[in-house]
Structure 1
Amino acid sequence: MKIPVIDIFAGPGGLGEGFSALLNAEGTRAFDIALSVEKEEAAHQTLTLRSFFRQFEPGTVPEDYYSFVKGEITIQELYRRWPQQASLAKEEAWLATLGDGEDAVPFEEVDSRIKNALKGHKNWLLIGGPPCQAYSIVGRSRRKDSILDEEKDVRVGLYRQYLRILAVHNPAVFVMENVKGLLSAKTKESSVFTKILNDLSDPVKIFPQTGTASPDSSVCPGYRIYSLVEEPASYDLNYNPVYNQKNFVIQAEKYGIPQTRHRVILLGVRKDINFYPGTLKKVDEVAIAQVLHDLPGLRSGLSKQKDNLEAWRTAISGVNLESVFPNAESCLIDEIKYQVKKIREAVAETGTEFLLCDKAEIGYEKEWFTDSRIGGVCNHSARGHMNSDLLRYLFVSSFARVYQRSPKLEDFPVELLPAHKNVKEGIDDKKFADRFRVQLWDKPSKTITSHISKDGHYYIHPDPVQCRSLTVREAARIQTFPDNYFFCGPRTSQFIQVGNAVPPLLANKIARLVLPVFSKLENETALSTGSDPAVTLRETVGV
């Protein structure tokens, strides 16, 4: 039996992808996304398309899906050819706003949708990450008052919708993700994180009369909240209120994700289930070269003039390097000259939504990422940049090759400093001094966030010849999305989707910890009903 999953604040589905990709011994999915909820239209389109993909067991996805990815048919035509699967996908992926705002759907409708999706299953999984901008350190630094006010910013209390669903529907397990800034966020009354832990430990205390909930705590006995990285580490309001909040932060680069993404992820197990899920296992860091080296090289586009290959070459190679870099060390000048010579010979174009190319030969987790049926790369097109930014990108990527680090503003030649009012502040006070950051081939990437949709300055490709920022597919590779995961909507929206997602491979590793909890429940159910527990265990866990 597949374990039902409800995914709220789903984004493009990164967390759900990790769980649904976990297979049992028969090669079928151990977890089934019964309902996913997202309010952004483009992300919802991506979510629906991936739900359509999951209507087929692994290895049986129709060729029409790949025809869509290649741009040979429209998504409407794809759904027309497979009406049953399309209907199921549209039923699963719900475009809706959760919370208390004017645009939010009524609680009763949310409860009805969840109840119908679960089809009577009592033991299921709730996953999701309430919108995190209100908790982010950067977001708070831009406000004069760092104290969060739930009345002024409804995002502060969106976790309450998560909490309400726990109180009403009582899942066996939940997984909740948010930004690291949650740890230092405060309201006028208390630490936000402490309040959230207290509430999640006993959700009925906050929502005693909502829906089918009752003041009787037996309806929802509450949850023990476990760390996924420290053993043993859990939080239970009744018997273990002392905790180290840093135990709930996952540093993704320590667990096989090629970026330094640090996020709070909470694993809650209902208190009537006596099972310790264990922790993630640390592995060696994964450099971005391992996930990017096989992707086709692209040149950047030109954003302020007619774009073609010759104009692009001229914009870079036609510059007098000695005048732009008058005080650069000879080793750096030599590297830049070498790269400019290669640029004069470059023949790459700017890419497209589907780029035909040879079979991918990724150097890491090949079975996870690649799909031989694609025959190319999707969502792989370079952005256009101003001429001045092309020279900055050339400089920072060449600098990194020579000095093995990304330059700060203080390392820039004066001629390349941007004409921003706060540049001097960046040099003198080191504030946002790395606003032009090249990612290093032999290191994990810096965190991929939704800010990548703005300008790409923080996500410069390490190859100077390409002289550009990362593409959506490169960001998706760093976020560990499989290559057959197609992102819908305009490119800006695609970047936002990728940046906001939970890395699916990390979610898959969490799913491996969660699955034994349900195996235990299935085994206990089999014993109580007289079924063969060994058979039940094999079907659920794949042993």
Structure 2
Amino acid sequence: MKSVIDEKLERMASGSAPRVLDLFSGCGGISLGFHRAGFHVQGAVEMDPDAARSHGANFHAKNPAHSRSVDITATSPQGLADLLELGDMQRCVDVITGGPPCQAFARVGRSKLREVDSHPQAFIHDPRAQLFRRYLAYVEAFMPIAVLMENVPDILNHGGHNVAEEVCESLSALGYTPRYTLVNVALYGVPQMRERMFLIAYRNELDTIPDFPLPTHFIDLPPGYHGSRNVALKALRAMPSPSRFYVDPPGNADATSPAVTAGQALNDLQPINPQKLIQEGKLGRRKADLTTLARYRGQGSSDYQHQMRGWPGFEASETGVTSHVIRYLPRDYRIFSRMRQGDQYPQAHALSETIFREELVRRRIHGEAIKEGSREYTALYASIVPPYDPTKFPNKWRKMWRDKPARTLMAHLGKDSYSHIHYSQGRTISVREAARLQSFPDGFQFCGAMNAAFKQIGNAVPPLMAYQIARTMKSRLVGHGVEEQALDS
């Protein structure tokens, strides 16, 4: 009698597309990459209602069940199979992907947890740090042929504990051969410097050791990215014996394409002049409409722009692109315009002080002298100068370089986007520009308000990175039995 694993292997060998279940899917970054590589997205698990609606709208628009938010801690694997009408739980999925929430593992955000819990290691007690166990429970129940997990590098050093190593030990006990590594997505064509941990595991029946795709691009990363990697590897180096599962990041001396820059990613999108929009009453008066079309600026001048316009199944509209909308930030547009590329908050704060002094002079020339220390003086200062201490928040703002990939996009984009100020237009980036920097194609639609869309983008795995990994995994699963969706660029 054939085993479930044998049945799945035979099914894929016959040419049927491998079926993916995406856990902690967000709006669908991993799903997009696997879809383009020829996988079938069976369904997803996502707790955030807006992200769940985005995933459902883009991958299962005709089935409302796929747009419902699902709490994985309160939903059994069988319950999910029933909800999504997947059929026999052990036979309906070939690959499980996903990334348990990274906030519990990332050093960014731990200060917020300490505000809630006075313990200096409060982040260790964050219940989100245990969701990887729920991920493993789903793997055990659905019995996929392959597994992909993504997370921040700090998962290797969570309070001195290497969670990736523990996940690999658990997968090994379940009958899988796992490996994990650290990669920077800028080396794979994403216009963003984003360091991440990827873990791949295959059923022992495949008799194959996971490998990772070779980089397609090259870049000399800033020192900070090497530093974050070294911190993440600290626990690995401190282990009493060498890891059985960690492998060094793949290198590719033959990569001849420089990393995609912010300019190459964005310069075909229509310019946005916030001052003009304010004068016309089109900015700040009401909530931004993510469905409004903005016409392209020409036919596209880079291969990357052509990819984003022509992604199979998510092609852009011929008339324009949606979600090209920005936040209403009237205090700071003058500061943005005078910042130089690469400037951060200390430089921005100094510029605001200069602008304030210039405004005092301008008013004095026009006969409106303002006395220092007066209520009017204080109000004018607050209307121009941001309130944050420049010695405590040096990285709060950053103006992007045109000729370099963007810095890491984070979920904090949902609260403000000052970390990514446009390199030439004196404003923060639009929702669509954030999507471009994360490699979401122009035909992908985001559900919810602007803040929700920014958050979904910042939380996502870059689809282009997921695509490169999916191609590698597909070659191990089915050889060339499944055709990936070609992309004419």
TM-score by length of 2: 0.72
Q: Distance in 2 between matches of 1:542 and 1:261?
A: 26
1:378 aligned to 302, 322, 326, which one?
322
Matched AA of 2:158: A
The answer for the alignment partner of 1:354 in structure 2 is 292
1:8 aligned to 23, 45, 52, which one?
23
C-alpha spacing 1:49/1:107, structure 2 compared with 1 (3 Å): closer
Deviates more, 1:175-184 or 1:112-121: 112-121
Post-superposition shift, 1:167?
A: 1.8
Post-superposition shift, 1:454?
A: 1.6
Of structures 1 and 2, the one with the larger relative CO (CA 8 A, separation 6+) is: 2
The answer for the alignment partner of 1:292 in structure 2 is 266
Post-superposition shift, 1:462?
A: 0.7
Q: Distance in 1 between matches of 2:157 and 2:90?
A: 40
Contact 2:53–2:447, Cα closer than 8 Å, also in 1: yes
1:20-99 alignment, distance < 5 Å: 20-22=35-37, 30-52=38-60, 86-87=62-63, 90-99=64-73
2:405 aligned to 444, 464, 467, which one?
444
C-alpha spacing 1:2/1:436, structure 2 compared with 1 (3 Å): same
Post-superposition shift, 1:264?
A: 1.1
Q: Distance in 2 between matches of 1:476 and 1:17?
A: 13
1:423-442 alignment, distance < 5 Å: 423=389, 426-427=390-391, 431-442=392-403
C-alpha spacing 1:146/1:224, structure 2 compared with 1 (3 Å): farther
1:355-504 alignment, distance < 5 Å: 355-358=293-296, 360-370=299-309, 371=315, 373-387=317-331, 389-396=332-339, 399-400=340-341, 405-407=342-344, 409=346, 412-413=350-351, 414-415=353-354, 423=389, 426-427=390-391, 431-463=392-424, 466-504=425-463
C-alpha spacing 1:261/1:118, structure 2 compared with 1 (3 Å): farther
Post-superposition shift, 1:540?
A: 5.8
The aligned length equals 387
Matched AA of 2:32: E
RMSD (Å), alpha carbons? 3.0
Q: Distance in 1 between matches of 2:386 and 2:279?
A: 29
The answer for the alignment partner of 1:224 in structure 2 is 177
State percent identity of aligned pairs: 26
Matched AA of 2:108: V
1:323-342 alignment, distance < 5 Å: none
What stretches of structure 2 of length at least 5 have no aligned partner?
1-15, 218-257, 310-314, 357-383
Post-superposition shift, 1:109?
A: 1.3
Q: Distance in 1 between matches of 2:41 and 2:110?
A: 34
Q: Distance in 1 between matches of 2:322 and 2:482?
A: 35
Q: Distance in 2 between matches of 1:149 and 1:443?
A: 33
Q: Structure 1: which 4+ aligned runs deviate by more than 6 Å?
A: none
1:171 aligns with 2:144: yes
Contact 2:30–2:466, Cα closer than 8 Å, also in 1: yes
Corresponding residue SS for 2:96: strand
Post-superposition shift, 1:107?
A: 5.1
What is the CA deviation profile of residues 310-362 of structure 1, one whole-angstrom value per residue up to 9, with x for unaligned ones?
999xxxxxxxxxxxxxxxxxxxxxxxxxxxxxxxxxxxxx9963234246415
The answer for the alignment partner of 1:200 in structure 2 is 171
Q: Distance in 2 between matches of 1:539 and 1:42?
A: 32
Q: Distance in 1 between matches of 2:412 and 2:191?
A: 18
C-alpha spacing 1:34/1:226, structure 2 compared with 1 (3 Å): same
What stretches of structure 1 of length at least 5 have no aligned partner?
23-29, 53-84, 203-219, 228-247, 313-349, 521-536
Matched AA of 2:445: F
Post-superposition shift, 1:134?
A: 1.0
The answer for the alignment partner of 2:380 in structure 1 is none
Q: Distance in 2 between matches of 1:512 and 1:95?
A: 29
Q: Distance in 2 between matches of 1:475 and 1:383?
A: 13
Post-superposition shift, 1:375?
A: 1.4
C-alpha spacing 1:443/1:157, structure 2 compared with 1 (3 Å): same
1:156 aligns with 2:115: no
Q: Distance in 2 between matches of 1:51 and 1:109?
A: 20
TM-score by length of 1: 0.65
